[in-house]
Each structure stands twice: as structure tokens, then as C-alpha cells.
Amino acid sequence: MKKQRIALVLVLILTTFGLAQEYPKPLDTLELGYNDTLVFLGDSITHQCLYTQYVEDYFYTRFPQSRIRFHNAGVGGDKAADALVRFSEDVASFKPKYVTILLGMNDGRYTTYDQAIFDTYQNDMTTLLEKIAACGAKAILMTPTMFDMRARRIRAQAQGKGKEQLKRLVYYNGVLAFYGAWLREQAFAKGLGYVDMYSPLNHITLTKRKAESQFTLIQDSIHPAAPGQLVMAYAILDNMNVSRTVSAIHIYRNEYGDWQINSSGGDVYDPQEESVSSGRFTFLAEALPWVVPQEAQPGYKLVQAGKNLSREILRINGVQPGRYEVKINEKVVGAYSDMELAAGVELQGNPKTPQYQQALQVAMLNKERNEKAVRPLRNLWSQMKQKRRSQLPEKKPDEFVKWQKEFRKKVADLQAKAQEYEKKIYQINQPKPLEYYIHKVE
């Protein structure tokens, strides 16, 4: 009887404090299918069209048949309240499956922690999450990025000004950490996606400064340059558990001494053994490696993005000792020892391969798409914010109506331009059959 009473008391305690409650699982995977849309909602860091571009590059090359669509909804200087004003037209109208949110850098107002300021951010973000849910999309909450106080000090010293402002900014990186912690709890409580942008940028900076005291990924202290933006793109893809391998080809001798080829991420055709030390086959991959423009490559290397998210492996076991040349489409892409081949050669970062060059074409065309269509589109939305802040709609309604008509025409033209680029991307991102030839050279 005593044991029953104790058990009953425990049940009551657990129920009272909510410990027996079932909590939703946070969203941990991006599942984008044919014609699905991903919207990137944010401030000037999103307006830069860099981390968004690199995420797009990943999906364009990894899922070339899916025709996934992307919309950048970043506006420089935005707080969560600003995003609410344009939400219907700039987010909901695109009928997204997912909306990533990168807001908070401006919401903290570049000062020490203030409860009233945070309460405003909390209320506006909560409303924003409700709006995203109401339009049938899943939110992916991303922590604010790093505020680099050392970079700001170096900049202030070079300019010989800003001492009073520096006092307010000393702990701003910590303020952003607090905002990010709140976002993490919201994601856990509501079953939303969560991406930690803050930690990798801070960790890399601290690690690199052990050898180079003035190292930074964020020269102006707020806006990461291309390498830092690649780290951000990697954080999204890594935290949301996207596909990590492009393809794997394994060649080996079976128990009867015959060559066998197994593959994943593509199909092998017409294998031919020309001699005991040479052979060829055709491989049609399902995807291309993730390649980004040159300016982002330092960040790509910092996080080992190719190895971790874009593995393309060629493994050959059972060949005679020696050195072997690998050709793809009659072009030499490398020479490797039998032991290196047995361990597996990673091809994803090899610029000599035709698949790398094809993926680079995709990345460069997408860079052009962002520079000539997407960023100008975001600039228009920035102008819209300025018109509203100047109270033009209230003060000069006729003038605003005329401007708004021109604005919408320009927006439509740029959206059409971006779609034309997308069509071209989906024409050049289709994997092609590649002929591999391996032969002994010494």
C-alpha cells in the first residue's frame, strides 16, 4: 500500500511540473521536392545574397531533377517588426514549404542587454512564427550571427573615433548569444527547425586567432564576407541533415577473380577489363558535387565542406602494386598508388574532373542570377521600407500609389529575370555520362 502511495505521488509531481508531457520533435531535415519553395527571411546579412546563394548551389547540384525554387526575402536593417510589415507579399505569396529566419542582429539595437528591447523582439518573433505557421510553412530558426568586437575595435582605431559607441558594444556578441538561446528553446518547444549560426563563426574565429591575432570572417564586425557566409551555408545544410554523399564507385575482384563494380548515387554502364592493370566503364551520376565560387573557397576549406557534405568516392581494391592514372572523358584527373585507390580517392574537390567544372558553371550562373536579379530585387524592397518609414503613404498618398505601381512592375520584371536564370541553371545542372579509364603507369 505504501509503495502504491509513493507511485501515485510521483505521477502527480510529474504531471504537475509537466515532466510527463510529450514535446514535439524539432524539425531536423530539409525535405525539398519537385517545385517546393524555400524562403530565406532576414536582414542585411541575407540581403547580401551570399549564404543563400551557396545553399542554392548545393540544392541545384544535389537535386538536379527537383526544380526546387528559392526566394531571398532579406532587407538591410530589418528587425522582426519590419519583416512582419512585408510578410504577406514578400513571404506568404510564394507559398513556401520552409522559411529560414535570420533576424536579431538589428533587433538588439547594438547596445547592452535591455529587457524591454528583448521583449519587443520576442513578441514580434512570436507573431512572425504564427504567420509562418498560418501560411502552411515550417519555420527554421537561425541564431543571430557573430558580432566581432575585435574587428570593430580595429576599425575604430583606424578611423580614430567611436570610443563611446564601443562601450555599448563590448558585450553585444553576448547579447546575440542570449537571443539565439531563446530561439533554440522556441524551436524545441514548437517542433521547428533550428540552425546554430553563432557557434561555428565564433569557434573558427577563436581557433584561427591563436595563430593570427587579427583574423576575422567579419571585417566590418556585422556582415560576414564570402568565406564566413559559406560557413553559414554549411551550418544550415549540416544542422538540417541534408544528403552528404554525391556518389561512390567501388571496383574489386570477386572470389572467382572477375572484376565487379558496385555504385551508389548513380549507375555504371559497359564495364570493360582491357588487361589485368587497366579497364574502363561509364558512370552516370544522379548529382553533381557541391562547388562554390572562388571567393567562398576559404570558408569551404575551413569547414571541410566537400568531405562532409559532398563526398564523391572512387575505390579500387585488388589491383597489382604500382601507380595508376585515372582519366575521365580521356582527360587525366590524377595518378594514385594502389594503396590510395584501395583507401578511396575523393574526387569532389578535383577541379580537373568534368563534373566539378559542370558544377562550377552552375555556381557561376547562380552567382550572376543573384547579382543581376536577386540583389536588385532586394534593393527595391529596401526602398519600399524607406518610403514607408518616411510616411510617404500617409503624407503623399497619390505620389506613393504612383511609386508603388512602378515598384511592383520592377519587382515582377526582376522575378521573371530570376526565373529565366533558374531555367538556364536547370538546363546545365543535369549530370552527364562520364567515361572512366584506369590504367597502370608504373
Write out pLDDT tens, residues 13-30: 555 555 546 789 999 999
81, 65: one domain: yes
Last residue of a domain, one of 194, 224, 242: 242
Q: Which of the four pLDDT bands, split at 50, 70 and 90, describes residue 2? A: low
Q: Return the DSSP state at 68.
A: -
Half-sphere exposure of 178 (CA within 13 A, CB side): 16
Q: Do 77 and 173 lie in a common domain? A: yes
Task: Establish if 407 belongs to a structural domain.
Answer: yes
**Cβ–Cβ under 8 Å, residues 265 and 285:** yes
The CB-side HSE value for 279 (13 A sphere, CA atoms) comes to 19
pLDDT of residue 226: 98
Report whether 335 contacts 323 (CB < 8 A): yes
Q: What is the pLDDT of residues 324-349, one digit of tens each?
A: 999 999 999 999 999 999 999 999 99
Q: Assess whether 196 and 49 both reside in one domain.
A: yes
| 163 three-class SS | helix
User: Do 176 and 217 share a structural domain?
Assistant: yes
In a domain, 368, yes or no: yes
pLDDT of residue 3: 55
pTM of the full structure:
0.93
Confidence of residue 266 (pLDDT cuts 50, 70, 90): very high
* Residue recorded with cell 524591454: 116
* Domain presence at residue 439: yes
Task: Round to whole Å and give the CA distance between 183 and 55.
Answer: 21
267 lies in the same domain as 186: no
Question: Is the Cβ–Cβ distance between 36 and 97 less than 8 Å?
Answer: yes
Q: Residue 79: give its domain's CATH number.
A: 3.40.50.1110
Residue 33: other Cβ atoms inside 10 A: 10
User: Are the beta carbons of 107 and 120 closer than 8 angstroms?
Assistant: yes
The number of distinct structural domains making up the chain is 2
Q: What is the predicted pLDDT for the residue at 375?
A: 98
Express each pLDDT in 384-425 by its tens digit: 999 999 999 999 999 999 999 999 999 999 999 999 999 999
Q: Residue length, the chain?
A: 442
Say yes or no: 95 and 232 in one domain: yes
Host domain of residue 351: 244-442
At 157, is the pLDDT very low, low, confident or very high (cuts 50, 70, 90)? Answer: confident
Which of 192, 220, 242 terminates a domain? The answer is 242
Residue with cell 564601443: 166
